[in-house]
Structure 1
Amino acid sequence: MFSKACEYGIRASIYIAKQSLLDRKVSLKEIAEAIESPTAYTSKILQQLCKSFIINSDKGPTGGFSMDTLEMGKVNLSTIVFAIDGDSIYNGCGLGLKKCNEQKPCPVHDQFKLVRGELKSMLERTSIKSLAVDLEKGLTFLKR
C-alpha cells in the first residue's frame, strides 16, 4: 500500500519522535539501525522529511535529528505519507489500472474506494506523538 520509502519514513518519524520525547537527538546511523533500513536510503528519506518541516536536523557535535515536542502532536501520518508518496494512495486504482474512475470502474472500484476512505481517515487522525508514546510504553514495536 505504501512505498518502501514511505514505510521507512513513518518508522523513522516515530523513532525520532520517541527520542525527542526523551529530549534526545539521534544520528542517521542510529535511526537506520532502529528501523532496519539502509543508511544511504534513510538519509534520502530524512532529507525529504526535513524539507517538509516534519523533522529537524541540526549539524555539529550536538547535532542530530529531532522533532519539536510541542508540534509533534499536530503531525499526523497523512502528513508523512504526503511528504514522501504524495496523494497517489488516495487516487490510485485498486488493480493498478491507469484509467479507473466512476464512469469506467474496475471490478474492485467501489470496494477499494471505501477502503481508501477509511485509510485516509485513519492517517489523518493518527498523530506521530501518540504512536511515539505507545512505542515508549512498550505497547508497539518498530522491529521484531
Structure 2
Amino acid sequence: MISNSAKYALIAVLFLGANSSEEHKILAKDLSDNTGVPKAYLSKLMQELTKKNLISSVRGPKGGFYLTDDEKNQFIIDIVTAIDGEQRIKKCILTLHKCDASHPCPLHNLVSDSKDDCLKKFEETKIKDLIEDIILGKSFLSV
C-alpha cells in the first residue's frame, strides 16, 4: 500500500517530531543512526520533504533537520503522497493495472474496505497526534 521509502520518511518525521526543535536540530547522520535508515537514502527523502515544506532544515555548523509546529500539523497522507505520489496508496494490492470495483482482482474485495479505512485515517490523523503518543509512551519507534 505504501512504499518502504514512505515508511522510512514517516519514521524519520516522527523521530524528528519527538526529538527536535528549532533550537535542537538533528543531523542526517544522527537521524540515520536513530532510525536505521541508510544515511544517503534518508538524505534524499529528507531533501524531498524539505522541498515540499513538510520538514525544515538548516545548513551549516548549527544545522540539521527539525519540525515546526505548523509542520507537526500536517497529516500523515501529506508525507506519504510527498514520497509515493497520490496514486500508489490507491493502487491495486497486486499492482494489476486494470483492477477497480467494476473489474476487481482476486484480492480487491478482500482488502478494499481496509484500504479505504486506512486512507481515511491517514487523511484525518496529524503528525502531532502520533508524536504525542510517542512522547506519552503509548507507542514507540524502535528500530
TM beyond 0.5: yes
Matched-pair identity in %: 32
Asked whether the 8 Å contact 1:34–1:142 carries over to 2, the reply is no
Q: Could you tell me how far apart the structure 1 residues matched to 2:81 and 2:24 are?
A: 26
Alignment-derived partner of residue 51 in structure 2 = 51
- Per-residue CA deviations over 1:67-120 (Å, capped at 9, x if unaligned) read 112x13421110000000112344211222111123322122233221121011
Q: Could you tell me how far apart the structure 2 residues matched to 1:63 and 1:21 are?
A: 11
Deviation at 1:128, TM superposition (A): 1.0
Asked whether the 8 Å contact 2:76–2:125 carries over to 1, the reply is yes
Alignment-derived partner of residue 26 in structure 2 = 26
SS in 2 for 1:110: helix
SS in 2 for 1:138: coil
Asked whether the 8 Å contact 1:89–1:116 carries over to 2, the reply is no
TM-score (norm 2): 0.90
- Per-residue CA deviations over 1:14-70 (Å, capped at 9, x if unaligned) read 01111235952111011111111111010011011101100011011221101112x
SS in 2 for 1:78: helix
Asked whether the 8 Å contact 1:9–1:46 carries over to 2, the reply is yes
Asked whether the 8 Å contact 1:76–1:128 carries over to 2, the reply is yes
Asked whether the 8 Å contact 2:21–2:66 carries over to 1, the reply is no
Question: Does the alignment pair 1:96 with 2:98?
Answer: no
Alignment-derived partner of residue 68 in structure 2 = 68
Q: Could you tell me how far apart the structure 2 residues matched to 1:79 and 1:22 are?
A: 21
Q: Could you tell me how far apart the structure 2 residues matched to 1:73 and 1:28 are?
A: 19
Q: Could you tell me how far apart the structure 1 residues matched to 2:82 and 2:139 are?
A: 24
Is the alpha carbon distance of 1:135 and 1:124 closer, same or farther for their aligned partners in structure 2, counting shifts above 3 Å? same
Q: Could you tell me how far apart the structure 2 residues matched to 1:135 and 1:116 are?
A: 24
Number of aligned residue pairs: 143
Structure 1, 54-63 or 82-91: larger mean CA deviation: 82-91
Structure 1, 86-95 or 124-133: larger mean CA deviation: 86-95
Q: Could you tell me how far apart the structure 2 residues matched to 1:61 and 1:73 are?
A: 25
Q: Could you tell me how far apart the structure 1 residues matched to 2:139 and 2:90 are?
A: 30
Structure 1, 58-67 or 106-115: larger mean CA deviation: 106-115
SS in 2 for 1:10: helix
Is the alpha carbon distance of 1:81 and 1:25 closer, same or farther for their aligned partners in structure 2, counting shifts above 3 Å? same
